[in-house]
Amino acid sequence: MQLNDQKGSILVYSLLLLVFMIAICLAMQNSAILEYKMSLYEHRSNQARELAEAAAWMTLEEINEILLADFIYEKELPRQISLADDYMVLAGEMNTNISKIQLEQQTLDYCIYSYSSQGSYKGAQKNLFVEVQICFDEYYVIIPDQPMIFVFREFTDRGRFVSFEEIKET
């Protein structure tokens, strides 16, 4: 009788061990799937940020082209700059977008423009708020007992980012 009891208990222990092994395998499989999804989402998020950064750089170049083409002989820089949409990336599930470009500050030496840049890639989306500083020299004609007369502006650099931060979505 004892032999039959031992055979039955071995069967029960074997089945318990099998159940535990199956549970461990399922947990490992779920963990691997979860890790795969997290890395996929991380990749998409990084690609969206790269697109937003690229759009910010392209916008800085576009601002430079507009200022160099139209505002060398103008005393006041434009308060807003509107860009053509033809240089933005719109390919498949990649997309970039730029908000209105606002003049934040203008002095005798530099100006600061601000805008937000957005990049999206396969459902992931990143928004960046950017401020760029563009330096220049202004030239004036000085006539005694009269206000200075603006002649032209020479841009001394291509601009640099003074603020480059990610906008957290709520």
Partners of 110 in beta bridges: 135
In this predicted structure, what is the pLDDT of residue 31? 96
From the list 64, 72, 51, the residue with the least C-alpha distance to 123 is 51
**What residues contact residue 108 under an 8 Å CB cut-off, 6+ apart?**
138
In this predicted structure, what is the pLDDT of residue 73? 87
In this predicted structure, what is the pLDDT of residue 133? 96
In this predicted structure, what is the pLDDT of residue 84? 72
Parallel/antiparallel/unpaired status of strands 124-141 and 149-155: antiparallel
In this predicted structure, what is the pLDDT of residue 19? 95
Domains in the chain: boundaries: 2-167
Q: How far apart are the first and last CA of the chain?
A: 70
From the list 130, 68, 65, the residue with the least C-alpha distance to 100 is 130
In this predicted structure, what is the pLDDT of residue 86? 53
Asked whether the beta carbons of 82 and 100 are under 8 A apart, the reply is: yes
Amino acid at 11: L
- Tokens 């009891």 sit on residue: 5
Q: What does the alpha-carbon distance between residue 26 and residue 131 come to, in Å, rounded to a whole number?
A: 50
Tens of pLDDT along the chain (170 residues) come to 455 556 668 888 889 999 999 999 999 999 999 999 999 999 999 999 999 999 999 999 999 999 988 888 888 899 998 887 655 656 667 888 888 899 999 998 999 999 999 999 988 899 999 999 999 998 989 888 888 888 888 989 889 999 989 888 75
Could you tell me how far CA 168 lies from the centroid of its own chain?
11
Q: 1: burial class by Cβ within 10 Å (0-12, 13-18, 19+)? A: exposed
In this predicted structure, what is the pLDDT of residue 98? 85
In this predicted structure, what is the pLDDT of residue 96? 82
In this predicted structure, what is the pLDDT of residue 35? 96
> What is the reported pTM?
0.76
